[in-house]
Amino acid sequence: MPRANFREVQGGGFGFQEGHVRIERSVAKVFQYPPNSTTKEQSDPFTALVWTATKLDREWNDLSGDDNEVEILIRMGNVETCRPGQLKPKDFDNMNVEPEDLGDQVGTEGNCFFMEVDTKLGAGWREMKNSLEAKGFKPEVLARGITTDFEGMLAHFITVEGKPYIARRGAKAGQEVKPTNLVCDRIETYPYDVKKSKGTVKETTGKPPNGAAEEEVNLISDATALFKAFTPKFWDKVKRGDAVKVEDLRKALTQEMMRQKLKAPQQTKLMDWFKDEENLLELAGELVDTNAAFAVEDGKVTFA
């Protein structure tokens, strides 16, 4: 079955309404809201593009405080016809390679969308896609349909009213509904520019110069210092002896860096460094016999 193309949509984000953000993580996910607190009814699961982002101020700096992580949720389709898919990086640019269908279980995540034949992404994404292209996002990148292509983007989003329609089903069947859509009204940093600048040295020379090697050493040093200085609030979220997913550790580290008042450029470099599990393994070796000793196994981290 085909892979979703982010430029092919049919004819609406939840929760997050407006703000400056940096997208840290981007996945295709089967999502389901919890039961309604009053009626106890629960809506059906659906497939969404989920951006985990850090809220920023108007100057694109990290905000102070601990609660600056936001989840931006965009409905992409029904699980019957649109589900999380998975592709190997070597196949990202080859649209003839079909992704693995990861299924429809709630919580399932992938790096692309697996589509049944003749299915297109939903109307909510159409508005977002149009706004991204209007602000200069490369259509050829959107056409790849790879969720991680959004990671690293600094952008400002707003919520706008869509065209009213008459609901055909559900509690509001027969009533006029005024939808709202999350759209992008400014892009400060394009994600592919961030990735390109990081790869320029290796692409040009074939190997990093002394400066790059020195930066790698500095990142290990910075990461070691960060881990050794973990605050009590970090340990409240990441319990010793409990295996946590690497993705969940990264979320906790984002908040911890804010608590330790690391500057934005340093935070960004470290978060990129933490995405490579081999770097975490190297860091684990540096922290043996310290208060932050940990082990990495099967995509999970356990602190001693």
What is the sign of the dihedral through the CA atoms of 154, 158, 164 and 166? positive
61 and 165 both lie in a single domain: yes
> pLDDT-derived band of residue 208, with 50, 70 and 90 as boundaries?
very low
Per-residue DSSP letters for 204-267?
HHSS--HHHHHHHHHHHHHHHHHHHT--HHHHHHS-TT-EEEHHHHHHHHHHHHHHTT--HHHH
Q: Report d(CA 101, CA 103) in Å as an integer.
A: 6
Q: Please say whether the beta carbons of 10 and 120 come within 8 A.
A: yes
> Does 104 have pLDDT greater than 60?
yes
Compute the average pLDDT of residues 57-65. 87
**Chain segment 176-199, per-residue pLDDT in tens:** 877 788 999 999 999 988 766 554
**Domains: count for the chain:** 2
Domain assignment present for residue 199? The answer is no
Q: Which of 64-68, 114-118, 222-226, 235-239 has the lowest mean pLDDT?
A: 64-68
Q: Can you read off the two tokens belonging to residue 209? A: 């110069």
Mean of all residue pLDDT scores within the chain? 84
**Chain segment 194-203, per-residue pLDDT in tens:** 766 554 433 4
Which ranges of the chain would DSSP assign to H, the alpha helix?
123-134, 139-142, 191-205, 210-228, 232-237, 246-259, 264-274, 277-286
How much is the pLDDT for 7?
A: 57
> Does 12 have pLDDT greater than 50?
no
Q: Which residue has the higher pLDDT, 213 or 38?
A: 38
Q: Can you read off the two tokens belonging to residue 171? A: 């509690």
> Does 143 have pLDDT greater than 90?
yes
164 and 299 both lie in a single domain: no
Per-residue DSSP letters for 118-131?
T--B-HHHHHHHHH
User: Phi, psi (5° rounding) for residue 22?
Assistant: -115, 125
Query: What residue numbers bound the domain in which 295 lies?
Result: 208-303
Residue finishing a domain among 160, 190, 220: 190
How much is the pLDDT for 275?
A: 84
> Does 213 have pLDDT greater than 70?
no
Domain assignment present for residue 217? The answer is yes
- Residues 278, 279, 281, 283: what is their CA dihedral angle, to the nearest 10 degrees? 170
Residue finishing a domain among 123, 156, 190: 190
Q: Report d(CA 257, CA 267) in Å as an integer.
A: 7
Nearest of 100, 153, 97, 157 to residue 127 by alpha carbon: 157
> Does 267 have pLDDT greater than 50?
yes
Q: How far is CA 269 from CA 3, 20, 184, 185, 275, in A?
A: 31, 19, 25, 26, 10
> Does 78 have pLDDT greater than 90?
yes
169 and 239 both lie in a single domain: no
Compute the average pLDDT of residues 129-137. 95
Q: Which residue has the higher pLDDT, 172 or 145?
A: 145
How much is the pLDDT for 46?
A: 93
164 and 215 both lie in a single domain: no
43 and 121 both lie in a single domain: yes
Residue finishing a domain among 190, 219, 251: 190
- Residues 60, 195, 69, 74: what is their CA dihedral angle, to the nearest 10 degrees? 110
218 and 147 both lie in a single domain: no
163 and 217 both lie in a single domain: no
Structure-token match 């790698």, residue found: 216
Domain assignment present for residue 2? The answer is no
The alpha carbon of residue 184 and the mean position of all alpha carbons in its chain are separated, in whole angstroms, by: 16
Q: Which residue has the higher pLDDT, 49 or 164?
A: 49
DSSP state of 93: T
> Does 73 have pLDDT greater than 70?
yes
101 and 232 both lie in a single domain: no
144 and 104 both lie in a single domain: yes
Compute the average pLDDT of residues 265-271. 81
Domain assignment present for residue 166? The answer is yes
59 and 133 both lie in a single domain: yes
59 and 143 both lie in a single domain: yes
Nearest of 48, 43, 62, 53 to residue 16 by alpha carbon: 53
**Chain segment 245-263, per-residue pLDDT in tens:** 988 898 899 888 888 888 7
Q: Which residue has the higher pLDDT, 129 or 221?
A: 129
> pLDDT-derived band of residue 163, with 50, 70 and 90 as boundaries?
confident
How much is the pLDDT for 196?
A: 64
Q: Please say whether the beta carbons of 20 and 114 come within 8 A.
A: no
